[in-house]
Structure 1
Amino acid sequence: MPVQFPMKLVDRRMLAPTVGHYQFLRDDGQPLDFQPGQFIQVHFQYADGTQTKRSYSLATLHDHALGPGEAVDIAVSFVPGGAATALFEGLDIGGQLSASGPYGRFCLQPGDLNGRYLLIATGTGVTPYRSMLPLLATAMAERGLQVVLLQGARSPAELLYSEDFEAFAAAQPNFRYIPCLSRELPADPGPDVRHGYVQQHLADLAPDAATDIAYLCGNPDMVDACVDALKLAGLGNSQIRREKYVSSK
């Protein structure tokens, strides 16, 4: 059994009509040392007492190990009738839940010498990239790295953390942010806004095995389609890092 620890809710807000942003403090006085791209598991039980858990990538912006008293962020998708949805909707500020982790290897690798990262996401799959921004800023400054974030959603209201990515792009000339909207475009779309799905616009970035490493996170169909396209472009398995998100009740 993984070691569980208490997390106390200190803030929450809605990111989109069906996605909430939750901020927690580890409530046992211990640090939560994690690498951007990792996730925690929240443990709870169904009404019949059966134990279960849900995984949530950490969206925390940081460039250091988090010490006691430093908060962590997650994005939670609300699923109608879902047990986890009921847990989070019923959690008041100051309320506790039980978590374990961090887990996962969907992280930037210190030994990477690539010229460009292609970061591709749909839905809450974009949360790991938010936590990577400070590390990406360092890599861009130290070795001239280029980064492109391709984020898919149905409408502008569902582009999670878009304000953070837009601000980062404005401050970092080597970072390009491309929202891909499948249903509804903004009234005044910027030059990098695209209509359609991320997999439809991946080819526009001309993936190059000589320079690129790609990260894929989100809808399994999107991940599979992008993997196929990247392999056709010549990228090998070591250059394609993926994590699939499946909504659970």
Structure 2
Amino acid sequence: MLAPSVGHYQFVRDDGQPLDFQPGQFIQVHFQYADGTDTKRSYSLATIHDHALGPGDAVDIAVSFVPGGAATALFEGLELGGHITGSGPFGRFCLNPGDHNSRYLLIATGTGVTPYRSMLPLLRKAIEERGVEVVLLQGARTPAELLYSEDFRAFAEATPGFRYMPCLSRELPDNPHPDVRQGYVQQHLAEIGPDPTRDIAYLCGNPDMVDACFEALKAAGLPIPQVRREKYVSSK
């Protein structure tokens, strides 16, 4: 369990082939409701790999548990070695090799932070090769709900040019890091000074947060092509 209501799962393809994906993409898990109706759910891949995926390499996803949810029942019922059916990967919420910006603003709430975990090796490469700066604003209610925070803090400490700013709306940790903020991510955008001449922003997570940050970034002068968005909507 990554948080009280979020589980971390690893999967490998049962045909022995790698699941090639671009960091930022998602897979779809297919299953049926109790009445036999087909349905599916989308999950961004949280996998960190510094190399091309090979046969047997695992891929990671984070699953939010929704009380009474059909997908929640599917994942809670999985045993080690259990199977799911999926398709993909899909999506274009990825780093663009043609980007010439000097800073990335990565903003997320909840499981919306999972694509950024998979992007860490590419971000390190951009920092080392292009001198890019990266700021990650991660929103949660409490420290226990900051998904993968240990990975992001360790990456920040090992990688000059990467700044990790958790924003907590209800509860701060004891002895918080100087970059921890109280409140919502959109309240702290102004502090990092969005700049249309240098920034490309990524927004992922709660639709209200995505919309609020999108408007704030537009007001700061960022043109729409420099703001890349993906909304997460919980469903049963």
Instruction: Report the TM-score when normalising by structure 2.
Output: 0.99
In the other structure, the counterpart of 1:11 is none
Deviation, 1:79, is: 0.1
Q: Is the 8 A contact 1:122 1:153 kept in 2?
A: yes
Residue in structure 2 matching 1:112, options 81, 86, 99: 99
| Aligned counterpart in structure 2 of residue 142 of structure 1, from 123, 129, 132 | 129
Could you tell me which residue of structure 2 aligns to residue 52 of structure 1?
39
* CA distance, structure 2, for counterparts of residue 154 and residue 179 of structure 1: 10
Matches within 5 A, 1:200-239: 200-239=187-226
Choose from 153, 164, 175 the match for 1:188: 175
- Find the counterpart in structure 1 of residue 235 from structure 2: 248
CA distance in 2: counterparts of 1:30 and 1:134, whole angstroms: 22
Give the CA deviation at 1:65. Answer: 3.1
Shift of 1:208: 0.2
Could you list the runs of 4 or more consecutive aligned residues of structure 1 that deviate by over 2 angstroms after TM superposition? none
Letter in 1 for 2:141: R
Opposite residue 47 of structure 1, the aligned amino acid is A
Q: Which amino acid aligns with 1:79?
A: V
Could you tell me how far apart the structure 2 residues matched to 1:107 and 1:248 are?
24
Q: Secondary structure at the match of 2:111?
A: helix
Structure 1 portions without partners, runs of 5+: 1-13
Q: Which structure has greater strand proportion?
A: 1
1:37-116 alignment runs, 5 A limit: 37-116=24-103
Query: In the aligned structure 2, how far is the partner of 1:84 from the partner of 1:229?
Result: 34
Contact 1:37 1:105 in 2 (8 A): yes
Matched, 1:170 2:170: no
Q: Deviation at 1:64?
A: 3.5
Cα deviation for residue 187 of structure 1 reads 1.1
Three-state SS of the structure 1 residue aligned to 2:2 is strand
- Local SS of the residue matching 1:152: strand
Give 1:67 shift: 1.8
* Count of aligned positions: 236
Q: Which residue of 2 aligns with 1:9?
A: none
2-side partners of 1:135 and 1:173: how far apart? 15
- Code of the residue aligned with 1:154 in structure 2: it is R
Distance 1:217 1:185 in 2: 22
Shift of 1:123: 0.0
- State the 1:31 CA deviation: 1.8
Shift of residue 173, structure 1, vs aligned partner: 1.1
| Distance in structure 2 (CA, Å) of the matches to 1:19 and 1:233 | 34
Indicate the residue corresponding to 1:126 in structure 2. Answer: 113
Following the alignment from structure 2 to structure 1, what is the Cα–Cα distance between the partners of residues 140 and 168? 5
Partners of 1:65 and 1:231 in 2: how far apart? 36
What is the percentage of aligned positions where both structures have the same residue?
Answer: 81
| TM-score, length basis structure 1 | 0.94
CA distance in 1, matches of 2:153, 2:115: 16
For 2:139, the equivalent position in structure 1 comes to 152
- Aligned-partner Cα distance in 1 for 2:87–2:14: 12
**Inter-partner Cα distance in structure 2 for 1:245 and 1:147:** 22
SS, match of residue 230 in structure 2: strand
